Amino acid sequence: MINRPVERLSAPLLADHLHDRLVEAVIFGDLPAEARLVEDSIAEQYGVSRSPVRDVLRKMEAEGLLTREGAKGLNVAPISRRDLDEVYLCRIPLEGIAAAEAAVNRSPDGVEALEAIYARMREAQQAGGVRDYFLANVAFTDAIHAAARNATLVRLLGGLSKQAQRYRYAAYTMFPHLMDLSVEGSRKIVDAIAETDADRARSVTETLIKQSWLTIRDCFHD
């Protein structure tokens, strides 16, 4: 065997670790769009068997990160403006609902968690750490989803948010000023949720995501 394992995975639930690694690799572009993925190669690289790899690849397919090329293997999903538009067409109303539900089911703990993550976002923004900002921003989104207390909604957003994160990370890298827009909008979202104002939470969320969309769109004018 020529290829040494890139990194040996630790014991508990190989598949979960592997999933995280591969998702990261796709979102951050280490695995470029259209890259071919072969079960055997991945298994060999990470020093595991094909079984967990199969599970992971199927899951990532469901998350929209991979596309199946007929009888051949899987590819990293292509990046395109068309795809971006598809994702955001769905994402806008769903994130709006999540914010509205988070406001309806508002809890002191939930708001506190949001404030904490918002603080992380501000710090990263002022430090100019694009990757740190991105990670905090993802956590912020996840916290709102969790606060919505709606398992079905979370499940659906799970099949969309990973796909969206690819575009978001790329956009933050290209247009760091997008962080300003994001911080400003997030402030409004936290306030609306804290005040239990579901309609305003929905509308500021939808507005923010629409604006982000238009900005990101400029990066991918195929």
Partner DNA sequence: CCGACGCATTTCGCATACCGTATACGAAGC
Partner DNA sequence: GCTTCGTATACGGTATGCGAAATGCGTCGG
The residues that touch DNA, with contacts defined as CB under 7 A, are 11, 13-15, 36-41, 43, 47-52, 54-55, 70-74
- Applying CB under 8 A, does 146 fall inside the site for a second copy? no
Taking a C-beta distance cutoff of 8 angstroms, is the pair 131, 58 a contact? Answer: no
In the list DNA, a second copy, none, the entry touching 64 (Cβ below 5 to 8 angstroms by class) is a second copy
Residue that is written with structure tokens 């509308």 in the block: 203
Site string for a second copy, 53-92 (x = CB under 8 A): -xx--xx--x-x------------------x--xx-xx--
Taking a C-beta distance cutoff of 8 angstroms, is the pair 186, 121 a contact? Answer: yes
What the block records as the tokens of 108 is 């002191």
DSSP 102-138: HHHT--HHHHHHHHHHHHHHHHHHHHT-HHHHHHHHH
Q: Up-side HSE of residue 67: CA atoms within 13 Å toward CB? A: 10
Residue that is written with structure tokens 């948010």 in the block: 161
Closest approach, Cβ 52 to DNA, in A, equals 4
Question: How far apart are the C-alpha atoms of 176 and 14, rounded to whole Å?
Answer: 35
Closest approach, Cβ 132 to a second copy, in A, equals 28
Write the DSSP symbol of residue 74.
E
Taking a C-beta distance cutoff of 8 angstroms, is the pair 202, 97 a contact? Answer: yes
Closest approach, Cβ 154 to a second copy, in A, equals 9
In the list a second copy, DNA, none, the entry touching 94 (Cβ below 5 to 8 angstroms by class) is a second copy
Taking a C-beta distance cutoff of 8 angstroms, is the pair 114, 140 a contact? Answer: yes
Question: How far apart are the C-alpha atoms of 53 and 14, rounded to whole Å?
Answer: 9
Question: Which position among 11, 70, 109, 152 is part of the footprint of a second copy (CB under 8 A)?
Answer: 152
In the list a second copy, DNA, none, the entry touching 150 (Cβ below 5 to 8 angstroms by class) is a second copy
Question: Which position among 6, 93, 115, 128 is part of the footprint of a second copy (CB under 8 A)?
Answer: 93
In the list a second copy, DNA, none, the entry touching 38 (Cβ below 5 to 8 angstroms by class) is DNA
- Applying CB under 8 A, does 151 fall inside the site for a second copy? yes
Question: How far apart are the C-alpha atoms of 179 and 137, rounded to whole Å?
Answer: 9
Which residues form the interface with a second copy (CB under 8 A)? Answer: 54-55, 58-59, 62, 64, 83, 86-87, 89-90, 93-94, 97, 101, 150-153, 155-156, 159-160, 163
